[in-house]
Chains A and B, each alone.
Chain A
Amino acid sequence: MYKESTLSVQISSIVQETEHVKRFTLEIAKGKQLPRFSGGSHISTYLETPKGLLVRQYSLTSHPDDCSHYEIAVRLSEASKGGSRIWHQSMKVGDHLQISYPKNHFPLSFKARHHVFYAAGIGITPFISMMQELRDKGQTFELHYASKSKQYCSFYEFITQHYSEQSHFYFSEDNHRIPTLFLENHLVGTHVYFCGPETFIEHFVKAAKDLGYPKKSVHQERFSPPQLKRVKPFKVSLKSGNEIWVDEKQSMLDALLQHGLNVPYSCKVGRCGTCELPVITGDIDHFDFFLSEDQQNAQNCILPCVSRAKSDKLVMEIK
């Protein structure tokens, strides 16, 4: 039923952080310890619903070295297909659930001489544990955090209490935004990290690229799959001779899963590489953030959670 080995945890407290964000503390059975994790890690949470399991990823916001509990912060999203809605409306203190082991697609660079975090909205979450890790290691960092207002700003108190020197807030209500101009001032050896809505990330990634930042100094974390500008339906033909139709509204991964294919997956946003599948022929439209340019150009594998076909058909190496 679960695609990976899981940990069984219980909700031990729920805090209303802001109007739309709740923090959940998760504990493992008495006498046991949760695994340590690295800054920027997340877990998958498995929610049981009448329609089956819902898998959602959340950054861990507790201290990486604290094995007594984990904490996640969940924003109720209006467009929620159920995940954040269930967390907000149905989950109670004392409830049990399964979570994955911590995973990290957004690790701190060990080559950096200085780290700069750019967060917008709930995009603050991975940076909470990253700042804790850097503080423990005695490394330098700064945070630029955009939010609607102080009132809607998750972790505002925590951050001002622990990292006031390193942190800068920008409230759109006061007409403050983070200027991409900041990127011009970072000294050589700086690594930048972006997390927030798609448009925010894209804006900053582009500005860094235009300045000539090497790709390896620019890190990004996405919570949602990229918004695709061109989507069209296509066919997937399998080794068995079967053909599967992928329509505009679904991902190729979902189509394959619906047809009972056992494709492993994890992030579903094109970050982790778990869902990679070999392609024999067909033009692939890559939308992932995992494969290198060379790998993408080779046109022989696809991350079906986000990527699609340019041609009408993809012929796959799978049964």
Chain B
Amino acid sequence: MKNKAVFINGKRKYIFCGDEQGLKLLSNVLEKGKEEGLTYDRYLLSDLKMTLLQDFLKSQKMGTFVYLAIPFLVLQQFRKALEDIGYLEEDVQYIGYGERKIPVFCCRCHEINMSNQEQNRLFCNRCSLELEVSDHYSAMHNAFLGYVAKL
């Protein structure tokens, strides 16, 4: 995960994807792509929902490179979806912005806690249970599941 997009050469097609703020962060690589006359698509992710984008990304051919610029808050969830489609780490640049916090769902009291990306343990704000942040993102709760840290 980077905060700045770096241009990658030699792909048959490029997809520049992000919300409004995100696309701004991609302007340098997008300009570069235009200059070089490369094939590309610009995709505005207005509602930060994965479904439409998912179909679009699924229909792409091998050799496609994706720049995805969205808030850190939802980055993890998108990354997971892209990996499920079959995009490798080498096929995508994930650019995050905003607060580096992720939502963590407390398994006991169902509170949603905001946690730093880097930390994988925290105490629930409401019930004080020590939680371990899993990499399971729950689409229902819009948060990562937090499990009891000490079992």
Query: Which residues of A approach B to under 8 Å, CB–CB?
Result: 111-114, 183-190, 192, 208-217
- Complex Cα distance, B51 from A166, in Å, reads 30
Determine the residue in chain B with the shortest Cβ distance to A114: B86
Does B36 interact with chain A (Cβ within 8 Å)? no
A261 to chain B, nearest CB (A): 39
Which residues of B, 47-98, contact A by the 8 Å Cβ criterion?
57-65, 85-88, 90-91
Instruction: Chain A residues near B65: list those with CB within 8 A.
Output: 212
Contact A215:B90 (CB < 8 A) given known A113-B85, A188-B85: yes
Instruction: Chain B residues near A113: list those with CB within 8 A.
Output: 85-86
Determine the residue in chain A with the shortest Cβ distance to B86: A189
Interface residues on chain B, number (Cβ under 8 Å) = 19
B58 x A188 contact (CB < 8 A): yes
A188 x B61 contact (CB < 8 A): yes
24 A-B residue contacts at CB 8 Å? A112-B86, A113-B85, A184-B63, A186-B61, A187-B58, A187-B59, A187-B61, A187-B86, A188-B57, A188-B58, A188-B60, A188-B64, A188-B85, A208-B62, A211-B11, A211-B12, A211-B62, A211-B63, A212-B10, A212-B12, A212-B63, A216-B88, A217-B62, A217-B88
A81 to chain B, nearest CB (A): 38
A190 x B85 contact (CB < 8 A): no
Instruction: Chain B residues near A215: list those with CB within 8 A.
Output: 90
B62 x A111 contact (CB < 8 A): no
- Complex Cα distance, B87 from A273, in Å, reads 28
A212 x B64 contact (CB < 8 A): yes
B53 to chain A, nearest CB (A): 13
Instruction: Chain B residues near A187: list those with CB within 8 A.
Output: 58-62, 86
- Complex Cα distance, B50 from A125, in Å, reads 41
Instruction: Chain B residues near A212: list those with CB within 8 A.
Output: 10-13, 62-65
A142 to chain B, nearest CB (A): 14
Instruction: Chain A residues near B10: list those with CB within 8 A.
Output: 209-210, 212
Q: A214-B90, A216-B90 are in contact. List 9 more A-B contacts (CB 8 A).
A: A184-B12, A187-B59, A188-B57, A188-B62, A189-B85, A190-B86, A208-B62, A211-B12, A211-B63
- Complex Cα distance, B90 from A215, in Å, reads 9
Specify which of A114, A183, A189, A210 is in contact with B87 (CB 8 Å cutoff): A189
A114 to chain B, nearest CB (A): 8
A188 x B12 contact (CB < 8 A): no
B88 x A190 contact (CB < 8 A): no
B55 to chain A, nearest CB (A): 12
- Complex Cα distance, B54 from A66, in Å, reads 40
Determine the residue in chain A with the shortest Cβ distance to B82: A188
Which residues of B, 24-54, contact A by the 8 Å Cβ criterion?
none
- Complex Cα distance, B64 from A208, in Å, reads 12
Instruction: Chain B residues near A112: list those with CB within 8 A.
Output: 86
B57 to chain A, nearest CB (A): 7
7 shortest A-B CB distances, which residue pairs? A189-B86, A212-B11, A212-B63, A211-B63, A214-B90, A113-B86, A186-B62
- Complex Cα distance, B65 from A111, in Å, reads 17
A214 x B86 contact (CB < 8 A): no
Instruction: Chain B residues near A114: list those with CB within 8 A.
Output: 86
Instruction: Chain A residues near B12: list those with CB within 8 A.
Output: 184, 211-212
- Complex Cα distance, B60 from A187, in Å, reads 6
Determine the residue in chain A with the shortest Cβ distance to B10: A212
B87 x A185 contact (CB < 8 A): no
A214 x B88 contact (CB < 8 A): yes
Which residues of B, 87-138, contact A by the 8 Å Cβ criterion?
87-88, 90-91
